[in-house]
Structures are given as structure tokens and as C-alpha cells.
């Protein structure tokens, strides 16, 4: 399947999941995972009971919404959760009553600088109720009594997460993690889970040196709960990892390295991006914002990076109703899928090689001498000789590629040819 077909399928999946009201917990998350399970056969759902301690945090009560609306003095239903789930403040307390506009105003959230969009606002850990609306709508509200009804339920339930596993030849694992806690928002958030599904499908058909772990958690508390339950295994097995977020628009390509900044995943990502998306922008770990905050924290310290399109917090549509099905596109998603495939492929193929010959080997007698010599391409004999010259048992493939100024992707077929003829051996 070509990447654009994959991008189209991802966009369809985002459209299907878009209306669902997701949050840190609740049935919207479970329904989302049920749809993803159709895509990822080996997906397993786990529940962590409310009140469970996870390091310094406690799993909150489960939150579910039955209904929420506001009726104005003229009797018109002006804000309706059923019409757009962003209208309701995330983790809103229940409320039922009639209040004057002045009092209602204390519970309204809008963005004066972006008057036409509904902001996405949550209050997970400070109990309150509220509604979010376009500032232009807010300015039209007339004085008078407003009927407010918020039918939400807090219960001793659980936090839901899911994981899938694809075994490889080695026990070492590549960790792919994304979150599933935002309501009707496309780039941040649904682009991440749908890219996970696409990568699962692709990796399931590939020969895998590494094992792959796919994790779907509510952001922050879910990642902390997941790490607290799997700490030893994550520390022991994780070879490299990515947090998948904001991968659906076409405006930019962004890279956030791991906290260490020079882990293999950072070197591989930068190398791939330099050739496949030279316009990419690198951010600092100081500008982190998703679950790499947990995976990379001291004591956990996993090599986890993030390749994004427009990074969270940097685009005006972020956390508003404008982060919608038009903002993410099949093309934007396809490019992310392609970049991740290239990075995972290079992680698989990146090894340390050593030449088996003393002095330069004679390529001609093996039929390996390039018959077509073109300056600056892998057909250039210089590239053949440079690859062999730096295959010294110390540098890995990415290191050689960087040093000789050729993309590692171009070197892979040459390496395979040399291995076949016994001119190279794998050191690690
Ligand atoms: Zn977000």
C-alpha cells in the first residue's frame, strides 16, 4: 500500500473516532479502543481502578457525561454537549439550576484573541463546572436567567489503557506510545492513535529484528500509571521509542529529541529527517509537552523522542475546535507514516560493521565494481570505498553515513551486497 492510501485510511479512522467524547477515563476511551482493536488485532485493554497510587499520583474517579446544555432567557438551547463535546469543560462537576448571566460568566471559557473557535479546557484536579464557547457567541449573550444542566457522573471506576505487542528476533523493544484522552480534536489528538494503527499493520508484515510495544494511555496520568506497572521491563528492554502526537497536518515537520539528546533514536531521527524532510524544525527537550515528560524523566530515562508535523502549542488551531477534520489531511498523515517507517527501518538496519579484508578489497573480481559511476550517488565508487573505509567495527551505519555525507538508506543495499560477498561482518 502506498503512503497516501495509508493516509486516506488514517483520515477515515480519525473521522470515525472524532465525535467520541474522550477524557482521562470513561466510556469514550473504551469505545475508542474498541474501534482501534478492529485495526490492531493484538490490542489488549487494561483497567486501573480509581484510587490506585502510581508513583506520586492517584488515579482519579472515572468521569462520564450523560448530557450537558445551557438554555438562554429566550428559551433557546445555546450550548449543547451533544452538538459539540468541546462545549463542556473536561471533568465538569454536575450542576442543575437557573442562574443569572453574571454568575454564568464565571463558568464560561472563551478566547478573545480567537473569537470564532471553541477552546478545549479541562479541570481534572480542581473540581468545578463550566462551558467553553466561541468568544463571538459569548459577546451576544443577553442579561437574564440561564437554565444550566450538567448531567455528569463521577464513580469509583477505572482508568483505561491498552497495549499491543509484536515480537521480533530480539527481546529488545521499540516503544511507541500515544494518548487517547482528548475529545473532538484531530491533530492533537486523534492523529497519534491512527498512526499507531497504521504502523502496527505495516510492522506486522515486516521481518522484525526488534520487538515492538504499542501503548495507548490517557496523557500524563495514564503514562505514569503505565510506567509504574511496567517499570522493570521498560527499563530493561526499551531500545528506542517515540511518542506519537500531532502527526496529521501539512504545515511543518517538527522533531523533539529525548532528554539525553544524543541517544540512538535522536541520531537516527535527525539523519532521516535531514534527507526526507530537510525543512524540519528541531525543538529542545525544554519545549516538551507530551508523555516523553514521563518516559524520559530521571530514573525512567528511556530514549524516547517525537517526530511531529505542527508541534502542540505552536499552531493557532491547537486545543480549539479548529483542530478538526480539515486541519488534518491524508497527505499530512501519509508523510508522518512515511517518516516513521523510515526511522523504524533505519533503527532495524543500523548496526556496527567491520571489513573482513586487509587493505581495500578488489571489487572488480567480484563483479561489485559500480558499472555506472555517478558523482554524489550511491553508484559512485567513492561511496563504495568510503563505506568500506569506515566500517571499522566502531562506527555504526548512521555514523558512517553522516561522516561520508550519504543517506544511510542509500547505504543499506550496498551493505547487504558486501555482507553477501563476505566483505563485511556484523559486529553488534
Ligand atoms: Zn493536548
343-385 pLDDT tens trace? 999 999 999 999 999 998 888 888 887 765 555 555 678 898 9
User: Ligand 1 centroid vs 84 CA: distance in angstroms?
Assistant: 17
Range in 125-139, 329-343, 372-386 with the lowest mean pLDDT? 372-386
H or E stretch covering 390: helix 381-390
Note the pLDDT of residue 373: 55
Same domain, 146 and 251: no
Last residue of a domain, one of 125, 155, 185: 155
pTM of the full structure: 0.96
* Cβ atoms of 144 and 72 closer than 8 Å: yes
Query: Is 70 exceeded by the pLDDT of residue 84?
Result: yes
Same domain, 259 and 172: yes
User: Ligand 1 centroid vs 98 CA: distance in angstroms?
Assistant: 32
User: Ligand 1 centroid vs 138 CA: distance in angstroms?
Assistant: 24
Q: CB under 8 Å to 220, separation ≥6 — which residues?
A: 291, 293, 294
Q: Which residues surround ligand 1, an ion (CB under 5 A)?
A: 188
User: Ligand 1 centroid vs 189 CA: distance in angstroms?
Assistant: 6
- Share above pLDDT 90 across residues of the chain, in percent, rounded to a whole number: 93
Q: Which domain holds residue 292?
A: 3-60+158-349
Last residue of a domain, one of 328, 349, 370: 349
User: Ligand 1 centroid vs 2 CA: distance in angstroms?
Assistant: 29
Q: How far apart are CA 287 and CA 297, in angstroms?
A: 14
Distances (CA, A) of 1 to 4, 204, 338: 8, 14, 12
Same domain, 260 and 170: yes
Total tally of structural domains belonging to the chain: 3
Same domain, 188 and 218: yes
User: Ligand 1 centroid vs 76 CA: distance in angstroms?
Assistant: 31
What is residue 195's three-state secondary structure? helix
Same domain, 120 and 220: no
User: Ligand 1 centroid vs 319 CA: distance in angstroms?
Assistant: 6
Q: How far apart are CA 306 and CA 291, in angstroms?
A: 10
Q: CB under 8 Å to 336, separation ≥6 — which residues?
A: 191, 195, 247, 248, 307, 308, 309
User: Ligand 1 centroid vs 182 CA: distance in angstroms?
Assistant: 7
259-276 pLDDT tens trace? 999 999 999 999 999 999
- CATH number of 197's domain: 3.40.630.10
Amino acid at each position: 500500500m502506498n503512503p497516501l492510501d495509508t493516509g486516506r485510511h488514517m483520515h477515515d479512522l480519525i473521522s470515525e473516532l472524532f465525535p467520541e467524547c474522550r477524557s482521562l477515563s470513561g466510556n469514550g476511551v473504551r469505545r475508542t479502543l474498541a474501534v482501534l482493536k478492529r485495526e490492531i488485532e493484538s490490542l489488549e485493554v487494561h483497567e486501573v481502578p480509581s484510587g490506585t497510587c502510581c508513583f506520586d499520583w492517584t488515579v482519579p474517579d472515572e468521569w462520564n457525561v450523560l448530557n450537558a446544555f445551557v438554555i438562554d432567557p429566550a428559551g433557546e438551547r445555546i450550548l449543547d454537549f451533544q452538538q459539540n463535546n468541546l462545549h463542556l469543560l473536561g471533568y465538569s462537576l454536575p450542576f442543575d439550576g437557573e442562574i443569572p448571566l453574571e454568575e454564568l460568566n464565571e463558568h464560561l471559557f472563551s478566547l478573545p484573541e480567537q473569537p470564532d473557535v471553541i477552546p478545549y479546557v479541562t479541570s481534572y484536579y480542581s473540581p468545578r463546572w463550566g462551558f467553553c464557547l466561541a468568544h463571538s457567541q459569548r459577546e451576544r449573550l443577553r442579561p437574564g436567567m440561564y437554565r444550566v444542566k450538567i448531567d455528569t457522573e463521577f464513580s469509583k471506576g477505572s482508568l483505561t489503557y491498552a497495549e499491543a505487542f509484536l515480537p521480533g528476533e530480539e527481546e529488545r523493544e521499540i516503544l511507541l506510545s500515544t494518548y487517547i484522552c482528548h475529545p473532538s480534536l484531530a491533530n492533537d489528538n486523534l492523529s497519534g492513535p491512527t498512526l499507531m494503527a497504521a504502523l502496527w499493520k505495516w510492522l506486522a508484515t515486516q521481518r522484525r529484528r526488534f520487538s515492538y510495544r504499542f501503548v495507548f494511555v490517557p496523557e500524563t496520568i495514564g503514562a505514569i500509571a503505565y510506567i509504574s506497572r511496567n517499570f522493570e521491563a521498560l527499563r530493561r528492554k526499551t531500545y528506542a521509542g517515540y511518542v506519537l502526537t500531532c502527526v496529521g497536518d501539512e504545515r511543518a515537520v517538527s522533531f523533539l529529541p529525548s532528554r539525553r539528546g544524543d541517544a540512538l533514536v535522536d541520531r537516527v531521527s535527525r539523519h532521516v529527517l535531514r534527507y526526507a524532510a530537510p525543512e524540519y524544525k528541531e525543538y529542545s527537550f525544554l519545549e516538551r509537552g507530551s508523555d516523553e515528560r514521563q518516559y524520559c524523566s530521571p530514573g525512567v530515562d528511556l530514549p524516547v523522542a517525537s517526530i511531529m508535523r505542527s508541534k502542540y502549542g505552536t499552531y493557532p488551531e491547537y486545543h480549539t475546535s479548529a483542530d478538526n477534520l480539515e486541519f488534518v489531511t491524508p497527505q499530512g498523515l501519509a508523510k508522518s507514516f512515511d517518516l516513521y517507517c523510515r526511522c523504524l527501518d533505519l533503527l532495524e538496519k543500523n548496526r556496527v560493521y567491520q571489513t573482513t579484508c586487509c587493505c581495500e578489497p578488489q571489487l572488480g573480481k567480484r563483479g561489485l565494481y559500480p558499472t555506472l559511476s555517478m558523482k554524489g550517488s550511491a553508484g559512485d565508487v567513492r561511496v563504495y570505498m568510503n563505506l568500506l573505509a569506515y566500517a571499522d567495527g566502531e562506527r555504526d551505519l548512521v555514523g558512517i553515513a553522516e561522516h561520508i555525507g550519504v543517506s544511510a538508506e542509500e547505504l543499506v543495499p550496498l551493505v547487504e551486497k558486501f555482507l553477501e560477498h563476505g566483505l563485511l561482518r556484523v559486529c553488534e
